[in-house]
Structure 1
Amino acid sequence: MVNKILLTFVAADVFFLVGGVLLLVGSLVMSAKINGTKTLENAPQVLLLNVFPMRAAIVNSVFVFITFVLSLPGIIFSDNRLWLKAHGYMVVVCAIFTLVVGLRVWFDTLKTRANLSSLWGQQTPQVQSLLQQRFDCCGYLNSTFPPFQPDSVCTTPLVAAQKQGCVGPFSSFANVFLDFIFTADFGIVAIDAILLLCTAVVLKDRKERERYRLIDAKNGFLGI
């Protein structure tokens, strides 16, 4: 007879693994973008990814893979509870780790304008020009702050003065981008919580089965 409780656990475990794969692949893709050439299309994302805790995300994905491996003996050996308990503790570690990363990104969204001001000032004139072209703006706060940077959008000081500063459109873009990242992190935490519940249910089910086996053995019904 198919054990539906175990099948539900296996399904949740697979989703948990998929979350770890997404963390690893996403981090590697982000790292490749950061080390690549900045273009008109990717310059804003690359700047924002520079402040994302990339190494923490990669370490988190490694913890997820280790946790998944710990679940395999618990799945294969239907009477075993030790491996599942170790798996459950590791799920808690992964959930806390992912939650901290997500909270870090969420906290950054609360001070987006201040962070972007420092980020803007650290960029070369070429990168600042890419941002001006991308968002059709001139300067960070306005065309005179920082000093006027001419390009195809801000051709002259007079033209630049008639355009908005980049702080508005860049902040809006950053908030949407970072919101997507920390929402995805919190989604993975939700999967972790579901898996933890499934692990607890499987442990309880196996404990009950073991108790009934002991009762049967005591009453001499074990071989029936």
Structure 2
Amino acid sequence: MLRVAHLSPDAPNVDVYLNDEPVAELQGVPYGTISPYLPVPAGTQNVKVYAAGDTSEPVIEADVDLAAGADYTVGAVGLVEDGSLTAQVYQDDNTPPAGDNARLRVVHASPDAGPVDVGAQGGGNLVEGLEFPNASDYAEVPAGTYTIEVKAAGTDQVALTVPDVALNAGVVYSAFAVGLAEDGSLDVILTEDSMAMPDTGGLSPGGVLLAGSLLFFSAAAAGILLLRRRLT
């Protein structure tokens, strides 16, 4: 399963191609969008990202090696302005958590923010020293509602506060820290990753695009939440 995340704050809307075929519902994708998962064949798959409406040259191209039965996120990270825009491949682990726990990882996708510590307000750090553009390990936490704080690593300086984050039992989440510290546009995009997927019945590459369309229209059910908070 493969999904695409537009995490570059100064990049235009983009069109996504898989093996030189346009993904029908991933055309004109704006910044901050994280697609549902698309079922794709195992092996090496080519992902190209173009500025919307312009296929003269991809702004990102990546060959992604996909293992059977595994889940992946391909993120467009960095900035167009300084030429750092690139594709970052994250291997996802959507194994259900134990008991009444939720599982959470953090992806640092803010290009001008330094290393960060992430944790619940009033509690210890869940993630320490996470640097752009890496993802943390997954951690299991008791289900509940939390106020999440993002701090400059090794300090008590709170860069971002996200209140009322509900983590449900049995669900795997990714929290993408996006935007720019410089202009106060830091955001968190929280996704529910471990949602049930339809039976695709052994799709051919053409069938992959059809399934992608069906999955896209169920994006609301995929639990994609954009939590916007100004810098504190």
Q: Structure 1-normalised TM-score?
A: 0.24
Higher helix proportion: 1
Higher-RCO chain (CA-CA 8 Å, sequence separation at least 6): 1
Instruction: Give the number of the structure whose alpha-carbon radius of gyration is greater.
Output: 1
Higher strand proportion: 2
Q: Structure 2-normalised TM-score?
A: 0.23
